[in-house]
Structure 1
Amino acid sequence: MAAYGFARFEFPLRNYFFMALVFFFCLPLQAIAIPVFKLLNSINLLNTLPGLILVHSAWGVSFATIFLRNYFATLPVEVEEAAKVDGASDFRVFFQIVLPMSLPGIVSFSVIQFSWVWSDFFFALLYIHSPEKYLVTQRLTLMRGIYQTSWDLLSAGSIMVMAVPVVLYMVLQKYFIRGMMGWVVKG
């Protein structure tokens, strides 16, 4: 909804807020690792799946806003204006007109975000310590032995880990391509 607000509404300091989002998006993960670690520890979410979900969700907000703002900007304004002339509120326009039209953009963002979270190793390594709670990317590193490595098992595990985002992309490819092209070619 913030992305729609940035794309359609004029409000004071809009460009400064958007630049702040871009700044937070450009921050390296390592720059926030220690403060987030301390925060998760203080609220007892360290070494828990909800804590990791919270970190990924918070980190994805700026990317979602930037990505979807650019997509919403490509949608025709005339359809929204016609609905407002017919008496629709801004919320009704958003939920009944804009969201259905922006399904390809939302699916594209979701596929990208899922792929990033699925293959994440950095946050999982920092915030999950118990071996019984390890994610699949952490478990792959456990397949290496001290004196020898079973490369066939490690390769098979890596292919299985990579297969999930590939299958997701193949299933949602039609929406993904439309969503990615939606803000490149205005049509």
Structure 2
Amino acid sequence: MFPRPIEKSSVGVQTAYKIFLPIALFIWLLPLLAIFMTSVRSAADINSGNVFGWPTDFQIIENYTAVFTQSDAVTYFLNSIKITLPTVAISVALACLAGYALAIYRFRAALPLFFVFIAGNFVPFQILMVPVRQLSVETGLYNTVTGLVLFHAAFQTGFCTLFMRNFIKALPMELIESARIDGVGEFRIFWHLVLPLVRPAIAALSVLIFTFIWNDFFWATVLTNGEASKPITAGVRALNGQFVSQWHLVSAASLLAAVPPVLMFFLMQKHFIAGLTLGATKG
């Protein structure tokens, strides 16, 4: 049922593993390496057809500086921060409250309501493109940072609630019953007892949602039209002119856009792994 540890395999299998693992890792990282090599080329190098070969001229400082001088990259980055951080806060906060109610309280509509949250995660977001865009236009939220925050929070809360409900459900009910017997209020139980116990899960969920929202391109394209409210994922396209494709600048901007989620993961790596493995063992 479970994979066999490589240490318990034969010497031949271990040798083959050590040989093919670096090869597989290199193949997996090859697209990222190609983007990096493109980001340090000159425009003349790309136009001459030298796309996959060794660059004839390295323009690291020039290309990465041009991302900020030839576009509104600073505005795009700020918009991404304004969109991502409030969305994470709203989604996780609502998920903790809803997950606590669905996991702890026993009422007739608890299970059907939980199924509604689950079913929402399986709705293809492409079919919601037209009604969501129309709703944003009618409510005045189209092409605004506020609109992106609200719609992202609405779409992510279902998954977050499913995530938090399962973790809170795994907590010993005796702890909550003991606190109730001692006369502790429900909000104090939630704030001082439940939240500290599921803190690793909250950290893991925050990293996931941060990555989802920061890397979103679909809704950033559907719900924005001007440059003032675009996040970095949609703003990268502004580096391509109407008649000239500046792929070296697009590649540089793409790599810069990928830095915050990577930093977020490494800074929260300890809590992220602890959150994913919470409740995986007994004792």
TM-score normalised per structure 1: 0.92
CA RMSD of superposed structures (Å) = 1.6
The answer to whether structure 1 residue 3 and structure 2 residue 89 are counterparts is no
The DSSP-based 3-state class of the residue aligned with 1:182 is coil
Matches of 1:185 and 1:154, distance apart in 2:
45
The answer to whether structure 1 residue 44 and structure 2 residue 140 are counterparts is yes
Matches of 2:213 and 2:282, distance apart in 1:
30
The alpha-carbon distance between structure 1 residues 5 and 139, as it changes in their structure 2 partners (threshold 3 A), is same
The answer to whether structure 1 residue 163 and structure 2 residue 263 are counterparts is no
Matches within 5 A, 1:37-186: 37-146=133-242, 148-186=244-282
Moved more, 29-38 or 144-153: 144-153
The alpha-carbon distance between structure 1 residues 147 and 45, as it changes in their structure 2 partners (threshold 3 A), is closer
Q: Give 1 or 2 for the bigger CA radius of gyration.
A: 2
% same residue = 33
Moved more, 18-27 or 77-86: 77-86
TM-score normalised per structure 2: 0.62
8 A contact 1:108–1:180 mirrored in 2:
yes
Deviation at 1:106, TM superposition (A): 1.0
Please, which runs of 5 or more residues in structure 1 have no aligned partner? Answer: none
- Which of 35, 42, 53 aligns to 2:131? It is 35
8 A contact 1:37–1:46 mirrored in 2:
yes
The one-character-per-residue Cα deviations of 1:67-88 (angstroms, maximum 9, x if unpaired) are 0011112223232222122111
Please, which runs of 5 or more residues in structure 2 have no aligned partner? Answer: 1-96
The alpha-carbon distance between structure 1 residues 27 and 72, as it changes in their structure 2 partners (threshold 3 A), is same
Matches of 1:170 and 1:110, distance apart in 2:
13
Q: Which amino acid aligns with 1:59?
A: F
Deviation at 1:154, TM superposition (A): 2.2
The alpha-carbon distance between structure 1 residues 122 and 186, as it changes in their structure 2 partners (threshold 3 A), is farther
